Amino acid sequence: MILIVDDDPSITASLALLLKQHGHRSASAHSVDEALGAIRSERPSLVIQDMNFSRRTTGEEGLALLSAIRAEQPDVPVILMTAWGSIGLAVEGMKRGAADFITKPWSNTLLVQSVETALKLAETRDVAAEAPSRAELDAKFDFGKIIGSDPKMLRVLELIGRVAPTEASVLIMGESGTGKELVAEAIHANSRRRGRPFVKVNLGGISSTLFESEMFGHVRGAFTDARQDRKGRFEVADGGTIFLDEIGEVDQSSQVKLLRVLQDRTYEVLGSSRSRTVDVRVVSATNRALHDLVGRGEFREDLLYRLNLITIQLPPLRERRTDIPRLASAFLAMAAEIYAREVEVIAPRAMEWLKTQNWPGNIRQLRQTIERAVVMSDANELTLDDFIAVRDLESRERRDASLPDAGTMTLDEIERGMIVKCLQHYDGNLSRVAEALGLSRAALYRRLEKYGISE
């Protein structure tokens, strides 16, 4: 049973009818006391509650009721509603344990989606003391692209399996190179949207001037070079999943535009005043500590709480060393096929060496190391000497940054060359490039445009 708490009988009646149409039984309460009585007697599976029950509009009554509900029934999911559009108030409720929030007037589709997602997450909340085996997970889910059976990865895979069938927004966190994109693909592949589009967006590679056009599309004539209509990424992803990679790189003005489409699933195409709706599952990823960015005022807290209904933290490779042999063998087979080499195995001593390395670049660095060793080797077995040669080559490349002779290059040429070198070194991660060069992201974008460098 779903408990609806609102002092307006017309609202409780409307919500009750909507829920009944979607197969949910409900009960209504019109005051705090009625709500607490129903919590104790009915033990609802979910609560939808307003934030104000009198002429006061501070939301304090709603927060107090939320705390009382959590004290009475800690596991029941609570969805907050507010007619005042106070997202900050709703975020405070999320901090205190609410499952989600919606604003009045609500979208029937989004409200039902929020209810069903909260119910499904509540059903799968209990986790076994021990993670299931990789074989057990593979029998239930499609994890074919993800290699690993380390206990930490099994926990991650189990969480993916539990949240994928829901519509919950998911935030994937982890260091660069840990496989966040593969996790996003696995979420989509195991969801009800698996037959629909999966659209990847590298937000770190989209400047603020192009954000609206890239994400929401434009109509012909919207700006100087808009010679024809163009679909935005959200429109392309309609009905499926949109993967917002490097979400921590979005500037403040673009965050506001992104929040609107995540809040009510509406947007406007650049150059058009007509609002459009979109049906997407949102999965995002970052290697940055978003809560720290919020504390510094660089990332909107309301956007963060729209993105991270569920957070998946990926372990770095150094914390799952038992997976290195399987990863290395898989990368060896792929590299041998790509580069037409007859390299079949990695020598035991070499494999042990691989397992002892810290791999700051994680899985991506391991793969690149294997590929380089395959290219440089002329035998059918990779030995420790092959990997030492790769390491020495990479060290020489890092040292190859000496200044040119006086008069041979301009400062602009030197600056352009260093930017290109950093882009290659950090695999196009603009946040790390800007940090390495001592620039803000905005300053880096200006230089990329100045020198005609593609991200």
Q: Are residues 181 and 280 in the same domain?
A: yes
Tokens linked to 171: 């935030």
Residue among 162, 166, 435, 412 at smallest CA distance from 288: 435
- Domain-located, residue 388: yes
Is residue 84 included in any domain, yes or no?
A: yes
Say yes or no: 171 and 306 in one domain. yes
State the residue range of the domain holding 377. Answer: 317-399
- Return the closest-CA partner of residue 252 out of 445, 446, 442: 442
**298 and 152 part of one domain:** yes
d(CA 39, CA 62): 15
CB 169 within 8 A of CB 118: no
Distance CA 323, CA 167 (A): 30
What is the pairing mode between strands 310-313 and 170-173? parallel
pLDDT at position 431 is 81
Q: Are residues 181 and 256 in the same domain?
A: yes
**How would you write the pLDDT of the chain (455 residues) with one tens digit per residue?**
999 999 899 999 999 999 999 999 999 999 899 999 999 998 999 999 998 887 766 788 889 999 999 999 998 999 998 765 567 788 889 889 899 888 888 889 889 999 999 998 888 765 545 678 999 999 999 999 999 999 999 999 999 999 999 999 999 999 999 999 999 999 999 999 999 999 999 998 888 888 988 999 888 766 767 678 888 999 999 999 999 999 998 988 899 999 989 888 888 888 888 889 999 999 999 999 999 999 988 899 989 988 988 999 999 999 999 999 999 999 999 999 998 888 989 999 999 999 999 999 999 999 999 999 999 888 899 999 999 988 887 777 666 555 666 667 777 778 888 888 888 877 788 888 887 887 877 788 888 888 888 76
Report the C-alpha gap between 146 and 149 in whole angstroms: 10
305 and 386, same domain (yes or no) = no
- Of the residues 313, 330, 351, the one at which a domain ends: 313
Whether 129 is in a domain gets the answer no
The structural domain count of the chain equals 4
Q: Considering 281, 313, 345, which residue would you say is the last residue of a domain?
A: 313
Total number of residues shown for the chain: 455
Q: Please list the residues that pair with 4 across neighbouring strands.
A: 28, 48
Query: Same domain for 306 and 328?
Result: no
CATH number of domain containing 46: 3.40.50.2300
Q: How many CA atoms lie within 13 A of 17 on its CB side?
A: 5
Per residue, the 3-state secondary structure of the chain, as one string, reads CEEEECCCHHHHHHHHHHHHHCCCCEEEECCHHHHHHHHHHHCCCEEEEECCCCCCCCCHHHHHHHHHHHHHCCCCCEEEEECCCCHHHHHHHHHCCCCEEEECCCCHHHHHHHHHHHHHHHHCCCCCCCCCCHHHHHHHCCCCCCCCCCHHHHHHHHHHHHHCCCCCCEEEECCCCCCHHHHHHHHHHCCCCCCCCEEEEEHHHCCCCCHHHHHHEECCCCCCCCCCCEECHHHHCCCCEEEEECHHHCCHHHHHHHHHHHHHCEEECECCCCEEECCCEEEEEECCCHHHHHHCCCCCHHHHHHHCCEEEECCCHHHCHHHHHHHHHHHHHHHHHHCCCCCCEECHHHHHHHHHCCCCCHHHHHHHHHHHHHHHCCCCEECHHHHHHHHHHHHHHHHCCCCCCCCCCCHHHHHHHHHHHHHHHCCCCHHHHHHHHCCCHHHHHHHHHHHCCCC
How far lies 181's CA from each of 3, 134, 424, in Å?
A: 38, 20, 19
Tell me, yes or no, whether 406 lies in a domain.
no
Cβ neighbours, 10 Å, residue 436: 15
Residue 84: per-residue pLDDT = 54
Residue 181 sits in the same domain as residue 272: yes
One domain for residues 370 and 395: yes
Residue 284 lies inside a defined structural domain of this protein: yes
Give the separation between CA 439 and CA 316, rounded to whole angstroms. Answer: 27
Tell me, yes or no, whether 45 and 153 share the same domain.
no
CATH code: domain of residue 421: 1.10.10.60
Task: Look up the pTM and report it.
Answer: 0.81
Q: Which long-range contacts (CB under 8 A, 24 or more apart) does 344-347 make?
A: 344/380, 344/381, 345/380, 345/381, 345/382, 346/381, 346/382, 347/381, 347/382, 347/383, 347/384
Q: What are phi and psi of 182, to 5 degrees?
A: -65, -35
How many of the other CB atoms lie within 10 Å of CB of 231? 13
Domain final residue pick, 93, 123, 153: 123
Q: Is residue 404 part of a domain?
A: no
Q: Which two three-digit tokens encode residue 8?
A: 């307006």
**Same-domain pairing of 377 and 421:** no
Q: Is there a domain that residue 161 lies in?
A: yes
Residues 338 and 306 in one domain: no
Residue 247 within any structural domain of the chain: yes
Mark whether 240 and 184 lie in a shared domain: yes
